[in-house]
Structure 1
Amino acid sequence: MIQRFEVGPRLSEMAIHNGVVYLAGQVADEASHDIRGQTRQVLASIDALLAQAGTDKTKILRAEIFLKDLIDFAGMNEAWDEWVVAGHTPPRATVQARLADAEWLVEIVITAAV
């Protein structure tokens, strides 16, 4: 069985299958913030979705981070390091990418265990 959450005409924000949670790419709601602010917003969205699925950030299996510009790598890492739980740091990939909205500085995709 597949459970889908916040289903829209183009995508669902989250799906759960066989005890694994798949999040859609999360982006900032308020794009006027700098990289730290946008990353914090994204991480808060991730926390909320994981809680809705009955899990949390200590159960992240993989994180994929897309940055508009790698110049923001250090600032994104500052927010990430404040958020991630010591001893539960997930495998992670970070790449520079052209994001769908020019105002977005970061997009994060998460896969986690329930």
Structure 2
Amino acid sequence: MSHHRVRRFDTAETYPEQNLSNDLAQAVVADGTVYLRGQIGQDLDTRENVGVGDVEAQAERAMANIALLLKECGSRLDDIVKITVCLTDIRHREPVYRTMGRWLKGVHYVSTGLVVSALARPEWLVEIDATAVIPAGRRAEAERLRRASAAERGEEL
């Protein structure tokens, strides 16, 4: 199986004020493992920031993005095995983890939490990175769903 890149983009479009041009993707699927780019309080389609100054709203959007990206990859939230959370302030831990807990109730994943001095943009307060593994018995169906989702977005396979 080859690697499938979902929602490809160039950082020149995402960070026009920075002198960058890196080819990235929001997700990569490789042999049943789904690797997601760190998600923040930003709409995946419009790139509009959501919840500026509101860490709970940003965490909610990040989790919604994770759920959407997993679906587009043929996966789902209960396939998550690892989460990494980056916070810009330790006081944000409780509202962020409470939000994640609502989305991931019963998922028993491993988690790493970090407090960092800043994220890529000053208005971003939290970034949530997830890795999921699609069980072997669902991989053929997951591939069909991923292809259908890519076709809906007009994305090349």
TM superposition score category, shorter chain reference: over 0.9
TM-score by length of 2: 0.69
RMSD, aligned α-carbons: 1.1
Q: 1:22 is matched with which residue?
A: 35
Amino acid at match of 1:43: M
Query: What is the SS of the residue equivalent to 1:95?
Result: strand
Runs of 4 or more consecutive aligned structure 1 residues displaced over 2 Å after TM superposition: none
Name the structure with the higher strand share.
1
Q: Output the CA distance in 2 between the equivalents of 1:77 and 1:14.
A: 22
CA deviation after TM superposition for structure 1 residue 96, in Å: 0.6
Q: 1:73 is matched with which residue?
A: 93
Q: Output the CA distance in 2 between the equivalents of 1:33 and 1:42.
A: 14
Amino acid at match of 1:13: Q
Q: Aligned to 1:90, which of 101, 109, 115?
A: 109
Greater length-normalized contact order (CA 8 Å, ≥ 6 residues apart): 1
Q: Verify: 1:105 aligned to 2:105, yes or no.
A: no
Tell me, yes or no, if the aligned pair for 1:57 and 1:85 is still in contact at 8 Å.
Answer: no
Name the structure with the higher helix share.
2
Amino acid at match of 2:113: T
How many residue pairs are counted as aligned between the two chains?
Answer: 113
Q: Aligned to 1:52, which of 68, 72, 80?
A: 72
Amino acid at match of 2:35: Y
Query: What is the SS of the residue equivalent to 1:8?
Result: strand
Tell me, yes or no, if the aligned pair for 2:39 and 2:128 is still in contact at 8 Å.
Answer: yes
Runs of at least 5 residues in structure 2 that lack an aligned partner in the other structure: 11-21, 43-49, 135-157
Q: Output the CA distance in 2 between the equivalents of 1:83 and 1:109.
A: 14
Q: 1:5 is matched with which residue?
A: 6
Q: 1:63 is matched with which residue?
A: 83
CA deviation after TM superposition for structure 1 residue 33, in Å: 4.9
Query: What is the SS of the residue equivalent to 2:60?
Result: helix
Tell me, yes or no, if the aligned pair for 2:5 and 2:27 is still in contact at 8 Å.
Answer: yes
User: Which has more radius of gyration?
Assistant: 2
